[in-house]
Amino acid sequence: PPRSTLSSSSAASDVYKRQVFVQSVKAQTPVHVCATCPLTSIQAAIENSAPGTVIQVAAGTYPEQLVLTKSVTVQGGWNLTFEQHDMWAWRTVVDGQGAGAVISISQAAPIVEGLWLVAGSGTRGGGVWIADAQPLLYRNVISGNQATGLPALGGGIYAQGVQTQLKLDANWMIANQAQQGGGLFMQDTARLTATNNIVVGNVAQVGGGIYTHGNGISWIVNNTVAENDPSGLELMDRSIVFINN
């Protein structure tokens, strides 16, 4: 039978699809941050990246306060050649130096993975401050942060805003301090999904581990909450799903 041929319009369509595919592959090329990389600052990488970019950060200590208003992925735990990924073997530490929240997130849906967020300080959110955003925090260590002054809410994480939907999965929230919500404070947000987290040794006057108030719905599933002072959980939301904690 005769060999079929492509029409000119079909051929043009195929060329366009190949161009889109190539552009997509290029867009997925990760950006690297390390002491000897062209980019040595995580914040500089964020500012120079388009939404959807994966920013891979090598082991080391980065004295920064990060501002995330883009839907990018910031991924720590890489070795210096970016060939191996293990957040415990290659610790990527972001040190807030007591000068503000270690990470501030607003108006975006970023992914933050594999970082050690330490020594942050602020009246709302010592480690992480979130407003009207939809972030995923995955496998981070959030430790040694504090909310000070007034109102001193959320030593580890503070979240607010009716558009906020926060996902916390497999994080370690350890030894953070605040007046309310030593590990996490959330108020008047749309949704909290907290799964597989370890919340230990946080201190506050109310809600040493997790304090939530007025959220639309909170899913608290399969977390370990222990040795927080004075209590592990203070949940006062409109709807709560509480399983296997």
For every residue of 105-117, DSSP letters joined together read EESS--EEES-EE
Given this model, what pLDDT does residue 8 score? Answer: 43
Of 125, 120, 32, nearest in space to 76 by CA: 32
Residue 244: how many other CB atoms lie within 10 Å: 8
Per-residue pLDDT of 60-100, as tens digits, reads 999 999 999 999 999 999 999 999 999 999 999 999 999 99
Q: Which residues pair with 93 in a beta bridge?
A: 61, 116
Q: Which residues pair with 147 in a beta bridge?
A: 122
E strands in 79-170: 92-95, 103-106, 111-113, 116-118, 121-122, 128-131, 136-138, 141-143, 146-147, 157-160, 165-169
In degrees rounded to 5, what are phi and psi of residue 73? -110, 125
Helix (H/G/I), strand (E/B), else coil: 151: coil
Given this model, what pLDDT does residue 26 score? Answer: 47
Given this model, what pLDDT does residue 237 score? Answer: 75
Helix (H/G/I), strand (E/B), else coil: 20: helix
Please confirm whether the linkage preceding 51 is cis (ω < 30° from 0): no
Per-residue pLDDT of 202-211, as tens digits, reads 999 999 999 9
Mean pLDDT of 222-228: 95
Per-residue confidence at 245, pLDDT binned at 50, 70, 90?
A: confident
Whole-number Å distance between alpha carbons of 75 and 225? 25
Given this model, what pLDDT does residue 238 score? Answer: 73
Residue 228 sits at the vertex; the CA angle it makes with 226 and 230, to the nearest 5 degrees, is 130
For every residue of 34-45, DSSP letters joined together read -TTSS---HHHH
Per-residue pLDDT of 105-156, as tens digits, reads 999 999 999 999 999 999 999 999 999 999 999 999 999 999 999 899 999 9
Structure-token match 């933050």, residue found: 112
In degrees rounded to 5, what are phi and psi of residue 8? -60, -35
